[in-house]
Structure 1
Amino acid sequence: MHTALGLLDEIMSNKARQSAFELSKNIEQPYDLYNHVPYRIAVASNLLAIDRDAYIKNLTGLETREIRVLLNIGSYGPINAADIAYQSRLDPYSVNRAINTLMKRELISADNDHEKQRSKFVKLSEKGAPLYLKVIEHMQAREADVLQGITDKEKALLLSLLEKIELKAEAALARSAQQLESQGHTITRDQKELIRWHKRSSK
Structure 2
Amino acid sequence: MARLVLDDFIPYRLSVVSNLVSDGIAKTYEALFGLNIPEWRLVAVIAESDGITQQAIGQRTRMDKVTVSRAAIALVERELLTRTANPDDRRSHLLRLSAAGEELYAAVAPKALDLEARLFAHFEPVEVAQFMTMLRRIETLARDA
Name the TM-score, length of structure 1 as normaliser.
0.63
In structure 1, distance between residues paired with 2:53 and 2:26: 27
**1: CA distance, partners of 2:133 / 2:82:** 34
The answer to whether 1:146 aligns with 2:136 is: no
Query: What pairs with 1:111-122 in structure 2 (closer than 5 Å)?
Result: 111=84, 115-118=86-89, 119-122=92-95
**Rg bigger for which structure?**
1
**1:68 pairs with 41, 50, 53, which one?**
41
Selected match of 1:96 from 69, 85, 88: 69
CA offsets per residue over residues 109-142 of structure 1, 9 Å max, x none? Answer: 125xx64231311111111111112111101111
* Corresponding residue of 1:43: 16
- Where do 5+ consecutive residues of structure 2 fail to align? none
Shift of 1:146: 0.3
- Amino acid of the structure 2 residue aligned with 1:100: I
- Rounded to whole Å, the distance in 2 between the matches of 1:100 and 1:155 is 36
Aligned-residue Cα RMSD (Å) equals 2.0
1: CA distance between counterparts of 2:54 and 2:24?
Answer: 21
Residues matched between the structures, number: 142
1:149, distance to aligned residue in structure 2 (A):
2.6
The answer on whether the counterparts of 1:103 and 1:109 sit within 8 Å (CA) in structure 2 is yes
Letter in 1 for 2:63: L
Measured after TM superposition, the shift of residue 31 of structure 1 is 3.0
1:185-196 equivalent positions in 2, closer than 5 A: none
Name the SS for the 2:111 alignment partner.
helix
Distance 1:37 1:103 in 2: 38
Percent of aligned pairs with the same residue? 29
Higher relative contact order (CA 8 A, sep 6+): 2
1:33-70 per-residue CA deviation (whole Å, 9 max, x = no partner) reads: 22211111101111111665433111222222111111
Pairs within 5 Å for 1:25-44: 31-44=4-17
User: Counterpart of 1:150 in 2: which secondary structure?
Assistant: coil
CA contact (8 A) 1:65 1:95 kept: yes
Q: 5+ residue gaps in structure 1?
A: 1-28, 173-203
Q: 1:166 aligns with which of 131, 134, 139?
A: 139
Structure 1 distance, partners of 2:35, 2:112, is 15
1:108 aligned onto 2:108: no
Superposition TM-score, scaled by structure 2 size: 0.86
